[in-house]
Amino acid sequence: MSTGNASSFCCGRKLEHILPTATSISPKSTVEEIDTDYFITFDHPMTKEHYLSFAAYVKSDRVFLNRLYPEQSPTCRFPITNGGKLYVYCIKHGLVVYPDSL
């Protein structure tokens, strides 16, 4: 029986683990409440060479994922809930987590 880490594959490619880095480099964010959502704007470039590729709001029992694309606005929406953590992934700087998330 193997006790090693399980590997995950997608479209034939092995998926790598990514761990959140220090929050000192996390882009500044502003949060507004619009209808039943948080509307979040990140202060971050969205060029083809340097952009945010996703933002995720993770709770113990659910995950909300917003895919983001270069040359579009660095914004996303999540349903208003409490107790989750906000993660953002930059293709240059990696994954950051906001400690005092929404």
- From the list 16-24, 28-36, 64-72, 86-94, the region that binds Fe ion by CB under 5 A is 86-94
Site membership for Fe ion, residue 90 (CB under 5 A): yes
What is the distance between the alpha carbons of residues 64 and 12, in angstroms, rounded to a whole number? 25
The residue (of 44 and 59) whose beta carbon lies closer to Fe ion is: 44
Supply the minimum distance, in Å, between the C-beta of residue 22 and Fe ion.
13
59 or 89, CB closer to Fe ion?
89
Please provide residue 25's backbone torsions phi and psi, each rounded to the nearest 5 degrees: -100, 5
| Contact call for residues 67 and 53 (beta carbons, < 8 A) | yes
CB closer to Fe ion out of 40 and 90 = 90
Cβ contact 75:42 at 8 Å? yes
